[in-house]
């Protein structure tokens, strides 16, 4: 299984940011924190354990035009979906206040830059959940 380094940054409501630790993330979105911030080991272990146990994340999206005012639409994105890793970044911020910083192109074949050895450096279109319209 392919892994890449990950850094987790907690965003406080007052705008401050603090590193919670570093580790690895695999292509199924399982996060292994190998160096948690001192004093935060139990918190990080608990939160990542909960997140790793989920088979999906839920993202909010704009409701249909004919939905009642104040409606919220939700969309489940499962761990086996190509959209899961980008969705995990969005979900981490919304639900946990955590920014997951990792190189997604190392985990998703064809995402980001192609192999430079083939001479082409083309970008794959971002999944819809990361577009400006979402």
DSSP string, 43-75: HHHHHHHHHHH-SEEEEEEPPPTTSPTT--EEE
pLDDT digits (tens, 9 = 90+) for 33-70: 999 999 999 999 999 999 999 999 999 888 888 989 88
pLDDT in the model for residue 72: 84
pLDDT digits (tens, 9 = 90+) for 88-124: 999 999 999 999 999 988 888 665 544 444 433 333 3
Q: Which two tokens stand for residue 55?
A: 């088979």
- C-alpha 17/C-alpha 72 separation (Å) is 29
Sketch the domain layout of the chain as residue ranges.
Answer: 3-130
Stated pTM of the model = 0.77
Phi, psi (rounded to 5 degrees) for 84: -65, -50
Q: Which residues contact 101 (CB under 8 A, 6 or more apart)?
A: 6, 7, 8, 9
Q: Which two tokens stand for residue 109?
A: 């074949």
Which helix (H) or strand (E) segment holds residue 19: the answer is strand 17-26
| Alpha carbon 41 to its chain's center | 21
pLDDT digits (tens, 9 = 90+) for 5-33: 999 999 999 999 999 999 999 999 999 99
- C-alpha 77/C-alpha 81 separation (Å) is 7
């Amino acid at each position: 299984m392919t892994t890449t380094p990950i850094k987790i940054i907690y965003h406080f409501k007052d705008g401050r940011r603090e590193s919670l630790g570093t580790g690895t993330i695999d292509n199924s979105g399982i996060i292994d924190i190998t160096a948690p911030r001192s004093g935060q080991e139990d918190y990080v272990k608990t939160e990542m354990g909960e997140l790793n146990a989920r088979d999906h994340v839920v993202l909010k999206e704009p409701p249909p035009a004919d939905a009642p005012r104040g409606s919220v639409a939700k969309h489940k994105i499962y761990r086996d979906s190509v959209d899961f890793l980008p969705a995990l970044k969005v979900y981490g911020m919304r639900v946990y206040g955590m920014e997951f910083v990792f190189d997604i192109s190392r985990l998703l074949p064809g995402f980001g830059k192609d192999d430079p050895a083939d001479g082409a450096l083309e970008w794959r279109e971002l999944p819809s959940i990361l577009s400006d319209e979402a």
